[in-house]
């Protein structure tokens, strides 16, 4: 009898062991290792407000000027052509440490998207699957023809070396309007899972209602804008039988002008000794002044830059009407400088186009290492 009881107990133990083995095998088969990837959302927030006024320079008939600080209120807005769209390029880099540059890291992804030309911030949100580590996001936005999306006024092959396409003839300088920004974030593991910290402060990233971390890239114009107004249109009209539509204006930049921009560092990284720009003035203000020219010039972040320009005015046959040279233009990122003077009737300078060896004021150009 005891023998039968022992046999039954033995059989029961074997059944329990076998069941345990099957259960363990089932766990082994179905409990896959957790993925180390994490979803991070990158929000593009490009400022669409017009540049605020910066400085006003009022020139006289001798080439002298009076400078004033302008009230920092929004300047005149511009509505882009309906044939255009807004293009954004985003580069995501993994870097060895939070303070390392993208040159020391590796490009994880590069994306190009388009949105409506009038899209307000946030213009779009992109999703990236990333692993634990340190990351930098570089973002650039500009206008491009909707029918032919791609580089137009800027070469954006690398966002830490954006180049202005200076050989391109522009019909509307406002289409050079652009936006740039960057953001750092880090992903670290904790006992509760992964944590995303943003920027130098290391603050924890906000999350969407679905629980995904959200990293915002704030973008603004990498350029300063200036407008050049002729205050002597009425005097000019009395002296010459020419209409505004007969005028052509050439702006000559000299003694170095910026043509390259590093989105990561928000600094200039390429210059040209001289270049020129042609415009046809058409805007007459309520006070009777004529907008001769305007432009967007790439600038460093957080400091005032300067360009030196010559202004040449021609008739429709290409004959020079007037020149006004060595106009100093102070520029500040995402600000507008207003220049006013008798640029149609008062001649200042030798009239030679090119580098002025006789100009003895200091124009400082900082070239990063």
Q: What is the pLDDT of residues 83-133, one digit of tens each?
A: 999 999 999 999 999 999 999 999 999 999 999 999 999 999 999 999 999
- Residue 219 near residue 181, CB atoms below 8 Å: yes
| Phi, psi of 231, rounded to the nearest 5 degrees | -95, 0
- Residue 204 near residue 317, CB atoms below 8 Å: no
**What digits encode the pLDDT tens for the residues 208-227?**
888 889 999 999 999 999 99
122 prior amide bond cis, ω within 30: yes
- Residue 86 near residue 109, CB atoms below 8 Å: no
Residue 143 Cα distances to 140, 152, 178, 239, angstroms: 11, 8, 7, 41
User: With 80 as the cut, is the pLDDT of residue 56 above it?
Assistant: yes
User: With 80 as the cut, is the pLDDT of residue 356 above it?
Assistant: no
Between these two residues, 320 and 5, which has the higher pLDDT value?
320
The per-residue pLDDT for 324 is 96
Contacts of 258 (CB under 8 A, 6+ apart): 164, 268, 270, 271, 297, 298, 299, 305, 307
Distance from C-alpha of 170 to C-alpha of 11, rounded to nearest angstrom = 91
The per-residue pLDDT for 209 is 85
The per-residue pLDDT for 8 is 57
Predicted TM-score of the model (pTM): 0.84
**Two structure tokens written together for 355:** 């580098």
Distance from C-alpha of 295 to C-alpha of 89, rounded to nearest angstrom = 23
The per-residue pLDDT for 349 is 86
User: With 60 as the cut, is the pLDDT of residue 25 above it?
Assistant: no
Query: What average pLDDT does the segment 61-70 reach?
Result: 94
3-class DSSP state of 30: helix
3-class DSSP state of 321: strand
CATH topology of domain 38-49+81-219: Immunoglobulin-like (2.60.40)
- Residue 99 near residue 84, CB atoms below 8 Å: no
């Amino acid at each position: 009898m005891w023998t039968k009881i022992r046999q039954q107990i033995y059989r029961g133990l074997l059944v329990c062991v076998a069941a345990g083995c099957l259960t363990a095998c089932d766990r082994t088969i179905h409990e896959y290792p957790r993925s180390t990837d994490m979803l991070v959302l990158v929000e593009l927030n490009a400022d669409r407000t017009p540049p605020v006024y910066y400085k006003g320079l009022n020139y006289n008939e001798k080439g002298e000027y009076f400078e004033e600080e302008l009230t920092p209120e929004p300047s005149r807005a511009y509505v882009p052509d309906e044939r255009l769209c807004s293009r954004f390029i985003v580069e995501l880099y993994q870097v060895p440490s939070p303070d390392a540059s993208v040159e020391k890291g590796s490009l994880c992804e590069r994306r190009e998207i388009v949105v409506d030309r009038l899209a307000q911030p946030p213009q779009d949100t992109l999703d990236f699957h990333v692993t634990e580590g340190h990351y930098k996001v570089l973002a650039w936005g500009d206008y491009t023809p909707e029918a032919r999306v791609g580089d137009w006024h800027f070469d954006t092959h690398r966002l830490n070396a954006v180049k202005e396409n200076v050989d391109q003839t522009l019909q509307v300088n406002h289409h050079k309007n652009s936006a740039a920004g960057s953001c750092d974030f880090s992903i670290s593991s904790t006992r509760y899972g992964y944590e995303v910290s943003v920027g130098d402060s290391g603050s924890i990233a906000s999350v969407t209602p679905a629980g995904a971390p959200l990293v915002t890239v704030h973008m603004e114009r990498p350029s300063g804008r200036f407008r050049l107004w002729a205050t002597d249109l009425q005097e000019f009209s009395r002296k010459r039988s020419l209409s505004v539509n007969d005028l052509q204006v050439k702006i000559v930049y000299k003694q170095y002008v910026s043509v390259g921009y590093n989105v990561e560092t928000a600094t200039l990284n390429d210059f040209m000794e001289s270049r020129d720009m042609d415009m046809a003035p058409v805007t007459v203000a309520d006070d009777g002044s004529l907008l001769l020219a305007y432009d967007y010039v790439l600038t460093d972040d957080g400091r005032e830059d300067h360009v030196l320009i010559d202004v040449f005015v021609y008739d429709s046959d290409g004959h020079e009407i007037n020149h006004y040279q060595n106009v100093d233009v102070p520029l500040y990122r995402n600000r507008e400088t207003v220049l006013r003077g008798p640029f149609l009737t008062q001649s200042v300078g030798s009239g030679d186009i090119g580098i002025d060896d006789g100009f003895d004021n200091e124009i400082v150009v900082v070239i990063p290492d």
